[in-house]
Amino acid sequence: MEPPLRKLRLLTAGPVDVDDAVLAALAEPTLPHYGPPWMPAYESTIFLLHELFETDHDVLVMPGPGTGALDTGIGSMIPPGSTICVPANGYFAERVVQMVEAYDIHAARVDFPWGSAVDPDTLRRFLLDEIPRAQAEGRPVRAIAVVHHETSTGILNPLEEIGRIARELDLALIVDAVASLGGTRLPVDAWGVDFCVSVPNKCIGAPPGVAMVTVSPRAWQMADANPARHGWYHDLRTWAWYRKYEQEWHPYPTTLPTNVIVALRKALSIILHDKGIEQHRAEIQLAAQHVREGMDEFGFKMFPDPLHAAPMLSAFHSRPGVDTADMSHFLLDERGLMISGGLGNLKGKMFRIGHMGGAASQELVEAFLTGVGDYLKSKNGH
């Protein structure tokens, strides 16, 4: 018998604490990923995802991380040698730039300081210059790829306005909504998102293992017209083929982690039907408010621009006189609470408290604030 995993409570930027009812769904007997025993469970999951994404576009469930699905969308839709505009204001936007360049696509980056939001007017002005320039250089701009909730800084980027710009300038819109879907509104069709990626293990509060993706008719057409092919599994055309020719048996090319999807379905049905999406978002918002008020009393300043701070995560500057790494170790070792540090250049300079999954509960918020208070007292003097 292996030793039990120690009981941890997660207040991280993801993955998140999973509700017992969802964990119980995960433990149901494993189903095959094809045929009549499985398809009703799959189809009802897809139905719930349409509701959450507010979309009539096609919805895929792709095994693997969010990054893998984003990789698939970028490589499938955009030909090498053309251009994707990437508004860059955090660690995950930098990752998008790397993905774009890995396909020999030109990344036209528009930089904003980490901790501030993408400014739509600056983005639009940049594109009005860049589109004719890129065209003249034979590397046409095809898309904007943006991170909705930039978890590295706690910023919620103004996706609705960015969508308006994409439509005005006739560009496709590719969105990393990994840490936003479920925590804030994301009406995919109304905001004109062509390829949108999220995961279960952030604002939905389910275990990791798949990405959920929306694909617009335009995104499918772009993939069809792309002369380049990067592999088989990571090509949207492969997914389109299975949707067309294996519709009844398994409209996707490979095995799915069926237990993970059953757990996702349970979490979605709790959020959308038992609790209601408004209540789900209100709980996240309330947790954020309590953590921010408590931390303000302890003298910690918010990292992001407060006008654009995402409700699902609170990022704080480190405070003079407090060793953030030591405080994190105290919370972990003494209280079993795990928080997230700074990513990339922000390592050691800030820390992040998630309000997603179980971390939205008042119980966990109180345990966290009590833990920080006790730590500061133990160092006597804040």
Ligand X SMILES: *Cc1c(COP(=O)(O)O)cnc(C)c1O
14 binds ligand X (CB under 6 A): yes
- Shortest distance in whole angstroms from residue 88 CB to ligand X: 13
Cα–Cα nearest to 53, from 241, 272, 245: 272
Which CB, 73 or 371, lies closer to ligand X? 73
75-94 binders of ligand X (CB under 6 A): 92
Give dist(CA 228, CA 76) in Å, integer. 8
Give dist(CA 12, CA 184) in Å, integer. 18
Cα–Cα nearest to 81, from 127, 129, 135, 36: 135
341 binds ligand X (CB under 6 A): no
Binding residue for ligand X (CB under 6 A) from 10, 147, 175, 365?
A: 147
- Shortest distance in whole angstroms from residue 267 CB to ligand X: 16
Piece of the chain touching ligand X by CB under 6 A; list 144-152, 253-261, 289-297, 332-340: 144-152
Binding residue for ligand X (CB under 6 A) from 76, 89, 151, 214?
A: 151
On the 0-12 / 13-18 / 19+ scale of CB atoms within 10 A, 178 is buried
Piece of the chain touching ligand X by CB under 6 A; list 131-139, 145-153, 167-175, 185-193: 145-153
179 binds ligand X (CB under 6 A): yes
The residues, any chain, with a CB within 8 Å of residue 50's CB and separated by 6 or more, are 56, 59
Which CB, 82 or 201, lies closer to ligand X? 201
Give dist(CA 187, CA 49) in Å, integer. 12
343 binds ligand X (CB under 6 A): no
Supply 221's token pair. 């057409």
72 binds ligand X (CB under 6 A): no
Q: What is the total residue count of the chain?
A: 382
Piece of the chain touching ligand X by CB under 6 A; list 136-144, 175-183, 233-241, 336-344: 175-183
Which is it for strands 195-198 and 210-215: parallel, antiparallel or unpaired?
antiparallel
114 binds ligand X (CB under 6 A): no
Supply 350's token pair. 């800030």
Point out which residues bind ligand X (CB under 6 A): 13-14, 65-67, 92, 147, 149, 151, 176, 178-179, 199
